[in-house]
Amino acid sequence: MDAERKAVEPCSIVIFGASGDLTARKLIPALYHLFKEKQLPAAFRVIGFARREKTDDSWRAELRVALDEFSRTKPVDDVAWAAFAQNVVYCMGDLTDPAAYAKLEQLLNSFGDARLRNNLLFYLATSPSQFGDVAEQLHNAKLLHRHGGEGWQRLVVEKPFGHDLASAHALNNELTRFAHERQVFRIDHYLGKETVQNILMFRFSNSIFERLWNRESVDHVQITVSEKMGVGGRGGYYEEAGALRDMLQNHILQVLSLVAMEPPVSLEAESIRDEKVKLLKSIRALKPEDVAKQVVRGQYFAGVVGGQPQTGYRQETKVKPDSNVETYVAAKLYIDNWRWSGVPFYLRTGKCLPLGASEVRIQFRPTPQVLFSAATGGKLDPNALTLRLQPNEGISIRFNGKVPGTSIGVRPVRMHFSYDTEFGAYTPEAYERLLLEAIAGDATLFIRRDEVETAWHIADAIRQGWEGRSLTNREFYAAGTWGPIAAEELLSQNGHVWRDPQPIK
């Protein structure tokens, strides 16, 4: 998992869907930063493949404008950009046209260094319905060698990977007709986040916490991924996705599996992914009648978020005026294994919530309420550990302390660790790490076939429980609030309450 020490061989990175948003916002800024920090291979090419007519120079000029806007470091370093841009070329072509792939092959053949011709990272930043076609065309053009051959070829595929188990399964079959599973790198950008990677380091390198990480000590776990933004211009996509498919099936289940999995036998990709799959498989299956009790969905109506007026979801562009699509989902899941038996895991995510924050909160069991019940009214706050994934990346511990001057006054106090203070402000973007790992051929931070399918199995069960049911009044929430009232009740049934992310003082 150590990116610094990974050997990266010269290669060409071919981006399909190069005119799209992802390329301008994430991929090119990530590659530029990797280049600037001397992490890219000594020789490389970035080839943009798309239908629109452009020259190398006009594409570079476009990317430069986007970089000024989206770079995580500003201003952009002109010298570094000029040196980087020399390696960036454009290949105009239609994804479905064999002639376009012949043109791509010619372009690759024009590179003097054999490694630039044969080590190929194909980044599919296209609509998922095109993944299969691109793989087939690459195969037909002999650019993707299924059974070895020279160099290496890999496919990096973006989410959404299918929209249910059946479609994900079909997509997996399509891709693996032309590529071996070890050549397929399925992205979940949460795995590229430093703080998400830190979950494993934190859990398995600290004996003071490691021994508490089980049903004996943990009362329950809360995973919150809240967003302030609404769906904005993505209404069309969101109508097909909803919060369950957009966030829970992938990002949240990934975080959950890292938080709850057993220690892997090594840090090898397969060992880690084996444990994640095992964990996902031990999540108790939800029957349709369980969904009503254990899962809450919600949809925002007009409100105010961070002082700004926000329209309701049903009034957003490309959204049906009577849409039942959920912009919020909360679930109570149980993990039926030895470690977690009986411990509720509460997951929630939503758009237009008061704060954009992702965190994992481990709430420990309280001490017996005998000594301090007079002082606390029997409500001694239990200890909690919060992994702040973003923003204010860090970890907080809450414990109880004596209030000075009083005889037995006791109240919660907090200790904060912050990445910035400890390590400086350098936080690479998730895509930097992911691109580097894909170039190095390490699949640890990518989703394996069985993993994506198991996650869909869980999401599908929830969707089936909702089928044919329109949203009720208790499922709507005003933009700028923490979600529907039903989500509070989900926890109160067990005597729990959501702990909302707090700004760090």
Toward ligand BG6, which CB reaches closer, 20 or 151?
20
Closest approach, Cβ 411 to ligand BG6, in A, equals: 33
Toward ligand BG6, which CB reaches closer, 188 or 475?
188
Toward ligand BG6, which CB reaches closer, 21 or 210?
21
Distance (Å) of CA 326 to CA 193, 226, 300, 345, 469: 26, 14, 8, 20, 12
246 interacts with ligand BG6 by CB under 6 A: yes
Can you tell me the distance from the alpha carbon of 89 to that of 49, in angstroms, rounded to the nearest whole number? Answer: 9
For ligand BG6, the binding residues in 187-226 under the rule CB under 6 A are: 189
The 10 Å Cβ neighbour count of residue 146 is 15
Closest approach, Cβ 234 to ligand BG6, in A, equals: 7
How do 344-350 and 218-226 pair as beta strands?
Answer: parallel
Q: How far is CA 117 from the centre of its chain?
A: 32
326 interacts with ligand BG6 by CB under 6 A: no
Residue 418 one-letter amino acid: S
Toward ligand BG6, which CB reaches closer, 88 or 347?
347
Toward ligand BG6, which CB reaches closer, 115 or 361?
361
Q: Count residues binding ligand BG6 (CB under 6 A).
A: 3
Toward ligand BG6, which CB reaches closer, 104 or 187?
187
Cα angle: 156, vertex 158, 161; to 5 degrees: 110
Closest approach, Cβ 227 to ligand BG6, in A, equals: 5
CB within 8 A of 137, min separation 6: which ones?
Answer: 95, 96, 98, 101
227 interacts with ligand BG6 by CB under 6 A: yes
For ligand BG6, the binding residues in 77-116 under the rule CB under 6 A are: none
Instruction: Tell the burial category of 252 from Cβ atoms under 10 Å away from its Cβ (0-12, 13-18, 19+).
Output: buried
Backbone angles phi, psi at 221, to 5 degrees: -125, 140
Active site residues: 251
Closest approach, Cβ 121 to ligand BG6, in A, equals: 21
Closest approach, Cβ 389 to ligand BG6, in A, equals: 8
Phi-psi region of 179 (alpha: psi -120 to 50; beta: other; left: phi over 0): beta
432 interacts with ligand BG6 by CB under 6 A: no
Closest approach, Cβ 336 to ligand BG6, in A, equals: 28
Can you tell me the distance from the alpha carbon of 102 to that of 340, in angstroms, rounded to the nearest whole number? Answer: 54
Strand partners, 402: 410
Q: DSSP class of residue 284?
A: P
Toward ligand BG6, which CB reaches closer, 163 or 189?
189
Toward ligand BG6, which CB reaches closer, 15 or 187?
187
3-state DSSP of 393-426? CEEEEEEEEECCCCCCCEEEEEEEEEHHHHHCCC
Q: How far is CA 4 from the centre of its chain?
A: 22
Closest approach, Cβ 250 to ligand BG6, in A, equals: 7
Strand partners, 121: 13, 154
Closest approach, Cβ 212 to ligand BG6, in A, equals: 28
Taking Cα atoms as reference points, which of 11, 87, 99, 100 lies closest to residue 49? 100
For ligand BG6, the binding residues in 39-68 under the rule CB under 6 A are: none
Can you tell me the distance from the alpha carbon of 325 to that of 310, in angstroms, rounded to the nearest whole number? Answer: 18
Can you tell me the distance from the alpha carbon of 317 to that of 312, in angstroms, rounded to the nearest whole number? Answer: 10
Three-class SS of residue 341? Answer: coil
For ligand BG6, the binding residues in 134-193 under the rule CB under 6 A are: 189
Toward ligand BG6, which CB reaches closer, 21 or 150?
21
The 10 Å Cβ neighbour count of residue 113 is 15
Q: DSSP class of residue 27?
A: I
475 interacts with ligand BG6 by CB under 6 A: no
Do residues 423 and 406 touch, judged by C-beta distance below 8 A? no
Closest approach, Cβ 353 to ligand BG6, in A, equals: 12
Give the residues lining the site for ligand BG6 (CB under 6 A).
189, 227, 246
